[in-house]
Structure 1
Amino acid sequence: MVMNSSVTEFILFGLTQDAGKQKAIFAVFLMFYLATLLGNFLIVVTIKTSRTLGSPMYFFLFYLSFADACFSTTTAPRLIVDALSQKKTISYNECMTQVFAAHFFGCMEIFVLILMAFDRYVAICKPLRYTTIMSRQVCCVLVILSWVGSCIHSSAQLFLVLRLPFCGPNVIDHYFCDLQPLLKLACMDTYAINLLVVSNSGAICMVSFIILLISYVVILYSLRNHSAEGRRKALSTCTSHFIVVVLFFGPCIFIYTRPATTFPIDKMVAVFYTIGTPLLNPLIYTLRNAEVKNAMKKLW
């Protein structure tokens, strides 16, 4: 798999080199990661076993929770293990695999969030045609397209990284392998490749965020014709979705829509969308959703 590179492994700098802080990082992020897995696993099992959560919204929430758990797993375990490890090395092949997996599940999360917004748009703006438009077959096709789109995106990112020659320093100033830190280590002019990265990841983030914002504006505008109870229920659902969108897209846009420059705060911003958002999503969707809470009580 190694191409145009004399480097066979990288050293991950991590969040800090301070031994005391590393122990705290191990404890805190181990707790966060286990809570993320537990929260998303509970949602997946609840939706899978509940007869009341059969609507398209929960069908998409199932895949969002699955993507969250996988997305967190691409980065969190490495950060946790490296916090107590003296040798923070990652092989070239493992690094490339991490790049692919992180972008695959991150992109999957973006597409599923768009599908959830589309589902709410149809439910609120086209209520009479909802069951026809959002049939089970249509939902399955949309999810498959999301998987395919995520695979195309992450394959393109991986292709760009594989073209980079690494012949000098191999210390990645990050806690996982990502494009911007790797571009800094390449022994070639990376300006053109960085433009491609921004036009790929950056464009997906920005365009998706704009689409989601427009969809929620349209939804809010259409709610003026609904009853007070209908408005309250729709607003509660849409507010949950919108909180998740802002929490996820804010950090992503900050990281992927700018030129090839890195800031010290980048790692903490990355922590927020790779570990923080997958942890918060189950809380947001369960605490603000009576149907999910009732289904969980029945499951227990």
Structure 2
Amino acid sequence: MARLRTAVSAVVAFTLLVVAWELAKAVLPEDGVRIGDTRVLPRTDDAAMPHVWTVLARFGEPEVAGAAAQRTVGEAVASGALFTLGLALGGLVIGGVLGAVLALAMARFGLLERALLPWVVLSQTVPLIAIAPLVAGWGGKIAILGQPWQPWTSVMVISSYLAFFPIAVGMLRGLTSPRRADVELFRSLAAGWWTTLLRLRLPASVPHLLPAVRLAAAAAVVGAIVAEISTGTRGGVGRLIIEYAQSATGDPSRMYTAILGAAVLGLVAAAAVGLLDLALRRYRGSVA
């Protein structure tokens, strides 16, 4: 029943978004609303805000008119979204492992937490668009087991950079959430640190970890898309956004098909995290 309510809520939210979009086009002036020389509300003409049904109709049209091997815009967006999803999930796994290891180390050694946590937080203040070219440049000089660094590897690394932070912070909070009385009880039973970790701290961290993984999944998708745009990696939905934006003057609705594909991609990543939620359902009610 809870899953059904979630699905219904998602459909209702999408419907309300469509209604708000079309209502804005119907009510607001096509040139937007200005106060003096400042536009406070955006333009609503077809060049800036095409109708929803126009965008949906573009999915069935050929991507390149007159091409020998025809591929529809929908097929191009689906293929790009799957490519980006694979990189985002890879970045989520890498970032999740790094974040979990870092959280375990900081929970084990208080001095390490005081030394590293400020730098972990500070790392997220660096603009992603500035990091992407650096990672791509450094990666071009690296060969792993004799294999050259691939452009998609840079995208996965950048995606993991955004994913590791919420998992590291969320898991650290969860590992330190058990009550002092519970920790003292394990000590009185001569339980070592590893036993306490497996039997007390890890189960107690699940309610904190699951929201962190959801946030990390969304961040991994955003990181993958931005990295594709910044590094020029082909094959993903980020590259499609750039390519379709270049033709937005003549066909603005095509750009929105790629943006809609990126939005659906985020929902798919969140649904994938739901599998982890099901696997850890028995621990969701753990109390700190």
Report the TM-score when normalising by structure 1.
0.31
Structure with higher Rg: it is 2
Report the TM-score when normalising by structure 2.
0.32
Greater helix proportion:
1
